[in-house]
A and B are shown apart, each in its own frame.
Chain A
Amino acid sequence: MEFSILTNYFGLYMEGFYGTVLSSVLALIGSFLIGAVIAVFRITTVRALRWFGTAYVEFIRNIPLLLVVYIFYYGPSALGFTLDGFKAGTIGLAVYTSAFIAEAIRAGIMAVPKGQMEASRSSGLSYIQTMLHIILPQAIKLVIPPLGNQFINLIKNSSVLTLVAGLDLMYFADSISTETYRTFDTYIFVALFYLVLTLPLSYGVRVWERRLQRKY
C-alpha cells in the first residue's frame, strides 16, 4: 500500500471530495423539493395531477440514472445551449432521486392514520392547514430513515458524474491514477473517502429506525 499517494495527491482528492459532497447536497435539496411536490400530486383528489405524479414516478424509476444524466448532458446541446458535466450531473441526480423521495414521502403521509385527517377537517381546519399542522409533522418522523437512505444512494450515485466529466471523486481519481500508474492504491483511497461519508449516515439511519420501532 502506497500511502504517499494519499499525501502527495491530497489536494486533488479533496477537490474531488468537495465536488462529490457539493453535488450530493445540491441534488438532495433539489430532489426533496421536487419529490415533495410530486408526492402531493400523487395524493390529491385532482385526477390530472395524480396521473402526472404516477407517470413521473413510474417513468423515472424504470430508467437508469445514467440515462437521466445523459438527457441533461446531451439534450441541451441538441437544443442549442450547453450544461457542463457538474450541472448536468447534479440536475440529473436530483430528478432521478426525486422519484424515490416522492414515494418515500407519500408512504410516510399514508402511514398517518386516516382518522387524523378526518378529525382535524371536522374541527374546521382546511386541507392545507391539516397537512401542515397535523399530517406532515407526524409523517416527517417516518420519512427520515428512507430519506437518509436516499441521501446515501445520492452520494454513491454521484459517482456517475465522472462519466460526464463532472469533477467528482471518481473523476479526479482518474487523473491521479494516470499519474501514479497505481490504480489499485489510488482507488482504495477513493473508497475510503466514500465510506467517510456513507458509513456514518448508514449508522445514523439504523439508530433512527430502531428508535421508531421502539416507539410503536
Chain B
Amino acid sequence: MDFIGAYSADNLKFLLDGLYITLIVAFVSIILSFVIGCIIGVIRYSEVPVLSPVMFYLVELIRNLPLLLIIFFIRFALPEVGIKLGLITAAIAALTIFEAAMIAEIVRGGLTSIDKGQIEAARSSGLSNFQTLWHIVLPQGLRRMVPPLVSQFISLLKDTSLAVVISLPELMHNANIVIGHSYGYAIPTLALVALIYFTVNFLLSMLSRRLENKTA
C-alpha cells in the first residue's frame, strides 16, 4: 500500500476532475429525471385512457432492465440506427431515462397515498379535476415523496459510476486509471473515493432531513 504515491498532487487533482464530472452529470440527470418522472407519475395516477397503460408498460420495461445495459445501449447501439449522442449527453440521457421510471413510481405511489376523502371533498367544493390535483393532491403527495425521492437521488449519484462502461471520465473511471498505475495505489485510492461518495451522499441525506422537517 502506497499512500504517499497514491495521494500525489496529480492523482488528487485527477480524482477531483472526475468528481466534477460526476456531480455535473448527476445534477443535470436529477433535474431532468425529476421533471419527467413527475409528468409520467401524474399521467399514471390520472388514469388517462391509452396514455396511462402505455406509460405503465414503458416504466415496467425500463425498471426491469439493468442501468448498465441502458447506458451501453444508448452510447454504442443507438448510433447503428442513426442516433448519435456525445459522451456526456449519452450518460445523462441513460441516467435520466432509468431514474425517471423509478421516480414516476415514487410519484404515483405518493399521489395514491392521499386519502380519497380529500379528493371527494375538493371535487364537491367545485374544484375541477386539475385544480384538485394541483392544489390538494400534489402538495400533500410531494411532502410524502421527499424521503424516497432523496434516496433515489442518492442512487442516481452512485449510479453515475456505471458510466465507466462508456469511459465517461467521472470519479470511478479516473480512480480506475490511478489504480492502473500501481497495485499499491488500489486500497488508498478506493478508500479516498469511498470517502468522497459517502460525504456527498451523506450531505444529501442531511439536506433531505432538513427539508422534511421544514415541510412537515
Q: Per DSSP, are chain A's interface residues mostly helix, strand or loop, or mixed?
A: helix
Of the listed residues B164, B175, B194, B201, the one surrounded by the most CB atoms of chain A closer than 10 A to its CB is B194
Q: Is A212 an interface residue (CB 8 A)?
A: no
* Stretch of A7-15, A27-35, A58-66 lying at the B interface: A58-66
Are B60 and A64 in contact (CB-based, < 8 A)? no
Residues of A within 8 A of B67 (CB): 156
Are A66 and B161 in contact (CB-based, < 8 A)? yes
Q: Is A56 an interface residue (CB 8 A)?
A: no
Interface residues on A, range: 35 or more
CB proximity to A under 8 Å, residues B161-188: 161-162, 164-165, 172, 175-176, 179, 183-184, 186-187
- Inter-chain CB contacts under 8 Å: number: 114
C-alpha gap A198/B67 in the complex (Å): 13
C-alpha gap A183/B64 in the complex (Å): 20
Residues of A within 8 A of B205 (CB): 62
Tell me how many residues of B have a C-beta within 8 Å of chain A.
Answer: 41
CB proximity to B under 8 Å, residues A160-216: 160, 162-163, 170, 182-184, 186-188, 190-191, 194-195, 198-199, 202
Q: Is B72 an interface residue (CB 8 A)?
A: yes
Are B64 and A63 in contact (CB-based, < 8 A)? no
Are B162 and A67 in contact (CB-based, < 8 A)? no
Are B81 and A184 in contact (CB-based, < 8 A)? yes
Name the residue of chain B whose CB is nearest to the CB of A73: B186
Closest 5 CB pairs of A and B: A74-B186, A198-B64, A159-B66, A64-B158, A62-B201
Q: Which residues of B contact A (CB under 8 A)?
A: 1, 60-61, 63-69, 72-73, 76-78, 80-81, 154, 158-162, 164-165, 172, 175-176, 179, 183-184, 186-187, 190, 193-194, 197-198, 201-202, 205
Q: Which residues of A contact B (CB under 8 A)?
A: 58-59, 61-67, 70-71, 74-75, 77-78, 152, 155-160, 162-163, 170, 182-184, 186-188, 190-191, 194-195, 198-199, 202
5 further contact pairs, Cβ within 8 A, besides A63-B198, A198-B65: A62-B198, A74-B183, A75-B186, A194-B64, A194-B69
User: 10 pairs across A/B with beta carbons < 8 Å?
Assistant: A63-B201, A65-B158, A66-B164, A67-B172, A67-B197, A156-B65, A159-B68, A162-B165, A170-B72, A184-B77
